[in-house]
Structure 1
Amino acid sequence: MSKGMKIDPPSGKIGVVVPGLGAVSSTFIAGVEAVKRGLAKPIGSLTQMGTIRLGKRTENRVPAIKDFVPLASLDDLVFGGWDIFPDDVYQAAIKAGVLERGLLDSVRPALERIRPWPAVFDKAYVRKLDGPHVKKGANKMELAEQLQEDIRQFQKQHQLSRTIMIWCGSTEVYIKPGAVHQTIESFEQGLQQNDPAIAPSMIYAYAAIKSGIPYANGAPNLSADIPALIQLAKEREVPICGKDLKTGQTLMK
């Protein structure tokens, strides 16, 4: 029988760093900021509006999940991220056109404070997109190290107790798993040698895991779900998850 896992109660601020501050991310962040201020309800959020039944149906014990499970408050979330365009989140949300202008204006100061860091980007992996706000480095390993430094500075600036990364960038081209993806050693060698089989999302995933922060992939492309990064995540006890979780935003829009 497996031993139970001790889960510490939430405390302090949680950093949410997002590669890609476009339509998906700006809608997500603006929505959270609106909910914080009582300007909207978290429709569709299992943790915020969902309930859980305890005992028999006749006992009528149906608490909200957020009251039953020790989860952090939305007020504890602090957002940051990367993008190939320098627009702040307010500008990005206006361009995306998902939410009403009036709602965005009501949370404008909070959104304008979130300005993206230069992104790790290569047009070869997202052929219909290009932008000027990108990092430069001698190789992909150096780019990964720059991402880790962004994370460290963000954590220090906001005195964060925990941080997570959610990939919300554009879907990358199909990549077939190969030798470079099989072990940590081969993957890190590939980063040093600019292996074309290592896409930007993999560089972000690597940076997150090396930084000790959970990584969730919001697109269908190959990302953290390769043997090398799965192995690294297990060794460092860092959760990884996700596969195309952002499609619903497109349907809503």
Structure 2
Amino acid sequence: MGGRTARTGVWFVGARGSVATTAVAGCAAITAGLQPPTGMVTETPPFDGTGLPPLSSLVFGGHDTAHCPLPKRAEHLTDAGVLPHGLAPAVRAELQAADEEIRLGGPAPGDTRSDEELIAEFAADLTSFRVRNALARVVVVNVSSTEPLPAPDAVRLPPSSLYAAAALRAGCPYVNFTPSTGLRTPALTDAAAAGGLPHAGRDGKTGQTLLRAVLAPMFVQRALEVRAWSGTNLLGGGDGAALADPGAAAAKNAGKERVLTDTLGHTPQGEVHIDDVPMLGDWKTAWDHIAFEGFLGSRMILQTIWQGCDSALAAPLVLDLARLVARAHEAGLTGPLAELGFYFKDPDAGPSGLSDQFTALLSFANRLREAQ
């Protein structure tokens, strides 16, 4: 590369969605000094000297079935209050460059291509992206809408698994930031093991479950008995529409419930309900109602309200993960990266409490630092 910093590709599945657009715009803004890297754990002192690819070295592309260009999508996000006013025009060139690297995904309604044809085409897109931009490596990050869990007798792979298979075939590390199946299907178990690639997932931990991962260990450590834990989510945008499907909502809620079950040692009464409220757009509200018992059976209640912008919460985590997994690939690490469980509702392995997960993440940073 003639002494220049090697460049790293970040290939988004769902590249024209809110999370990907916010990540691309945010990366450009931070690189230009227009905004601080708030929310990016990898930009904090514990990650100094770990050899992570600089934000300025990231090159973006991706797959999507949508056609709205990224500059226009950024304008929509500005109108919705997700991006600050003036940012979209300031980083228009970077958004346009990323948009030119987006290829048509699938399968779309009426698509006659077989699974093998789709995987081959997606893998070819990844290889072409790497070669065309002279990239050292490409990390595939799934940030598309949640899909329902596949039926037990399904004969075709779900879309998320098609993209994951393409990543394996093209030799690309993979991150699943969604609750969708991705690599977690028996059809890809052997290929994932044989591929020798690092991968991480599943389902980014951005709001309600982040709070659960903090609160659940508190009850355990203070020997308080949690009897019921119920929740409600109000959200709009593409995620709200996708999660209106009961199958997709079930996939999403499985990760939320796992945090409680793993930490508390049992599954408390109560469920999480997801309501699609289109006018909320990318903003969401999450309520939790926790019923617990204290000394002598005294009954007590804790209620929480989390209000936030999902895209702004997710984008810095996506950039963190792309950098961490790219560095892991450079260091020769393979297989599931359990140390990245800090970022996921349904991680590959490891502890469920956020404090323990953060300790594991810091150990991973040391591991990367020593690998240089």
Q: Is this a same-fold pair by TM over 0.5?
A: yes
**One-letter amino acid of the structure 1 residue matched with residue 133 of structure 2:** H
* Secondary structure, counterpart of 1:68 in structure 2: coil
2:20 match: 25
* Secondary structure, counterpart of 1:114 in structure 2: helix
Distance 1:218 1:250 in 2: 18
Q: CA deviation at 1:247?
A: 4.5
* Secondary structure, counterpart of 1:38 in structure 2: coil
Distance 2:67 2:161 in 1: 22
**One-letter amino acid of the structure 1 residue matched with residue 76 of structure 2:** K
2:107 match: 121
- Considering fraction of residues, name the structure with more strand: 2
5+ residue gaps, structure 1: 1-9, 53-64, 124-133, 181-194
Write out per-residue CA displacement over residues 20-65 of structure 1, whole angstroms, 9 at most, x where no aligned residue: 12101101111001001000111111111x233xxxxxxxxxxxx1
Distance 1:217 1:122 in 2: 21
1:221 matched to 2:173? The reply is no
Show the 5 A alignment for 1:1-253.
12-20=6-14, 21-48=16-43, 50-52=44-46, 65=47, 67-96=48-77, 97=80, 98-115=82-99, 116-122=102-108, 136-176=111-151, 195-196=155-156, 198-245=157-204, 247-248=206-207, 251=284, 252-253=308-309
**One-letter amino acid of the structure 2 residue matched with residue 77 of structure 1:** L
**2:59/2:98 contact within 8 Å kept:** no
2:240 match: none
Distance 1:214 1:15 in 2: 11
Distance 1:117 1:172, change over 3 A: same
Q: CA deviation at 1:100?
A: 2.1
Distance 2:140 2:205 in 1: 14
**1:11/1:161 contact within 8 Å kept:** no
Distance 1:37 1:155, change over 3 A: same
* Secondary structure, counterpart of 1:87 in structure 2: coil
Distance 1:170 1:202, change over 3 A: same
Q: CA deviation at 1:118?
A: 0.7
**2:183/2:192 contact within 8 Å kept:** no
**1:27/1:93 contact within 8 Å kept:** yes
Write out per-residue CA displacement over residues 148-167 of structure 1, whole angstroms, 9 at most, x where no aligned residue: 11111111111111110000
**1:15/1:162 contact within 8 Å kept:** yes
Distance 1:243 1:78, change over 3 A: same
**One-letter amino acid of the structure 2 residue matched with residue 172 of structure 1:** E
Q: CA deviation at 1:250?
A: 5.5
2:268 match: none
Q: CA RMSD in A?
A: 2.2
Q: Which has the larger radius of gyration?
A: 2
Distance 1:207 1:164 in 2: 12
**One-letter amino acid of the structure 2 residue matched with residue 14 of structure 1:** T
* Secondary structure, counterpart of 1:39 in structure 2: coil
Q: CA deviation at 1:137?
A: 4.8
How many residue pairs are counted as aligned between the two chains? 203
**One-letter amino acid of the structure 2 residue matched with residue 168 of structure 1:** V
Q: CA deviation at 1:234?
A: 1.5
Output the TM-score relative to the length of structure 2. 0.51
**One-letter amino acid of the structure 1 residue matched with residue 197 of structure 2:** V
Distance 1:46 1:77, change over 3 A: same
Q: CA deviation at 1:111?
A: 0.4
